[in-house]
Amino acid sequence: MKYELILLSLLISTALTYTSNGQETLTYDKINTKQLKPAMLYWDFGSPEYLTIESIYPLKDSINSYWNVTHRSPIVDDTVGNGFDYYLINEKGLRPVISHMYHLGFTNYYINFKSDTAYLSIKSMRDTVDYKVKIPEILAPEGPGLPVFLGSLKFSKQLHISYYELNRWSGTPPRIGQLELTELKVVGTEKLEIDGKSYDTFKVLISSKSGRFTEVWVLKNAPHYWVKVNHKIDEKRTMRSRVVKMYIFGAK
């Protein structure tokens, strides 16, 4: 209990530091899930071997509506390490429900989000680590969930917000899955060519106190899905990718 109180105090202190810089805290009124559309985005990570298909699609049960995002190689052959990265998100408030990342010989990473707690299980070739992390009421999905989060925001040139996310790339257990206060700011506009067509985009900087940052280009017209990413995970890991083909179903 003492440790949790100290951690909460530090998080609140960090939050006050962030919000004093002029940005707003993410609230439900800044989210518009009605502008989301089913989509398929083909990502190029630099060579055909790293081509990834991103599928964004809705799902309903008897109680709730959800959005699913799946990243998967177009070559379905897990014997060579092709796995998947999956996120299930409740449409109400974009609340994360499940995150599951699997790659043969690399990781089997599962997160189950329940109320105010995220339960994490990380299985490797050597062992399994299980633990839990306290989460706030509003928690933005990250990783594969990021296009749904971005696609739901009310973008403008002035957009500048802070929010919490559960960073899956923060190190080795138990650092993986650390709650991070994150800042998102529109820093410009740019035209990008995708499959021979020109698209207007917002250039967005997403950063955190840990030093992790991501440059993201999102479609200027809703849904504001990402179409280009420069991502710094840490000092040794960076990722650059872009969408080379895109289908957004029902978009004008």
Kind and range of the H or E element at 162? strand 160-167
Q: Does the residue 1 lie in any domain?
A: no
Q: 192 vs 170, which has greater pLDDT?
A: 192
What value does the mean pLDDT take over residues 120-130?
Answer: 82
Place of tokens 């990722």: 239
Q: Are 68 and 57 in contact (CB under 8 A)?
A: yes
Q: Does the residue 174 lie in any domain?
A: yes
pLDDT tens-digit readout, 137-163: 999 998 899 999 999 999 999 999 999
Strands 107-114 and 226-232: unpaired
Domain limits at 182? 14-248
Q: Does the residue 30 lie in any domain?
A: yes
Cα–Cα distance, 220 to 238 (Å, whole number): 25
Q: Does the residue 99 lie in any domain?
A: yes
pLDDT of residue 172: 61
Instruction: Please state the domain count of the chain.
Output: 1
Cα–Cα distance, 162 to 183 (Å, whole number): 4
Q: Does the residue 6 lie in any domain?
A: no
Q: Does the residue 55 lie in any domain?
A: yes
pLDDT tens-digit readout, 216-232: 999 999 999 999 998 87
- Checking if the pLDDT of 81 tops 60, the result is no
Q: Does the residue 244 lie in any domain?
A: yes
Rounded to the nearest integer, the mean pLDDT of the chain is 83
Q: Does the residue 3 lie in any domain?
A: no
Q: Tokens at residue 194, please?
A: 């995708």
